[in-house]
């Protein structure tokens, strides 16, 4: 069973629909018991860092998420869900994140001819041997919507990067924790393959 954590994030249903199309039977829940009983857990996210952390605290999900990752349950953060895994964000100064992975969330620098937020399709430079991108060609395109980006402290956890004004750490993997800045559920066949790879992790 795959649990999609419900903390009033915007892209719950699209993630659920993508998983159902792969033959999975996900549940959308904020129940501690259901989340901890699941084989895999997804933290989606659309919106601001500070608001999201407030909701996670409101629904008493912060310790649940930490327990899931400590248990080595496969865990996937999507878009804002990636950013929340880190210690904080320039979007919401002074608001602590989950602190599960090392790195910082910065605003995408202004650059001539580039609009922020970054909305659209960008190609990925994929590191060899990553589990989330198994069977996916380097240079494949995925769909982004964001104004802030990850700069990981440890290059060893970076699974894929993209270029938009700067080098964006677009995906990370560390042990059982995976995350994507882009939206796999909106990234056509490539995105579905990424979600399939996650669903089939053992």
Q: Which of 16, 91, 173, 185 is catalytic?
A: 185
Arithmetic mean of pLDDT, 6-30: 93
- Structure tokens given for 88: 């904080």
What are the CA-CA distances from residue 20 to residues 6, 13, 24 (Å)?
17, 10, 5
Q: What is the pLDDT, as a whole number, of residue 11?
A: 79
118, 146, 169, 183: which one is catalytic? Answer: 183
* Residue tagged active-site, from 16, 79, 91, 180: 79
Please state whether 54 falls in left (phi above 0), alpha (psi between -120 and 50) or beta. alpha
Q: What is the pLDDT of residues 23-79, one digit of tens each?
A: 999 999 999 999 999 999 999 988 899 999 999 999 999 999 999 999 999 999 999
Please report, for the chain, the start and end positions of each structural domain, with discontinuous segments joined by +.
2-199
Question: Band of the pLDDT at 166, cuts 50, 70, 90?
Answer: very high
- What DSSP string runs through 26-55? -EEE--HHHHHHSSEEEE---S-HHHHHHH
- The verdict on whether 183 is a catalytic residue reads yes
DSSP 135-164: T--TT-EEEEEESEEEEES-GGGEEEEEEE
For domain 2-199, give the CATH number: 3.40.50.880
User: Is 90 exceeded by the pLDDT of residue 10?
Assistant: no
Q: Which two tokens stand for residue 38?
A: 């699941």
Two tokens, residue 186: 């909106």
Annotated catalytic residue 79: yes
């Amino acid at each position: 069973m795959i649990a999609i954590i419900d903390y009033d994030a915007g892209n719950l249903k699209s993630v659920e629909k993508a998983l159902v199309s792969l033959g999975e039977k996900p549940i959308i829940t904020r129940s501690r018991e259901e989340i901890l009983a699941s084989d895999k857990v997804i933290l989606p996210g659309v919106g601001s860092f500070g608001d999201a952390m407030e909701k996670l605290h409101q629904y008493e999900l912060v310790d649940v998420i930490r327990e899931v990752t400590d248990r080595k349950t496969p865990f996937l953060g999507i878009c804002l869900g990636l950013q929340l895994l880190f210690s904080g964000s320039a979007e919401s100064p002074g608001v602590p994140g989950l602190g599960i992975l090392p790195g910082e969330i910065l605003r995408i620098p202004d650059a001539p001819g580039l609009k922020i937020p970054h909305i659209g399709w960008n190609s990925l430079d994929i590191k060899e041997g990553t589990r989330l991108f198994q069977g996916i060609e380097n240079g494949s395109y995925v769909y982004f919507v964001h104004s802030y980006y990850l700069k990981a402290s440890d290059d060893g956890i970076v699974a894929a990067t993209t270029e938009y004004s700067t080098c964006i750490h677009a995906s990370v993997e560390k042990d059982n924790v995976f995350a994507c800045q882009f939206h796999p559920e909106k990234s056509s066949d490539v995105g579905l393959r990424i979600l399939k790879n996650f669903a089939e992790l053992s």
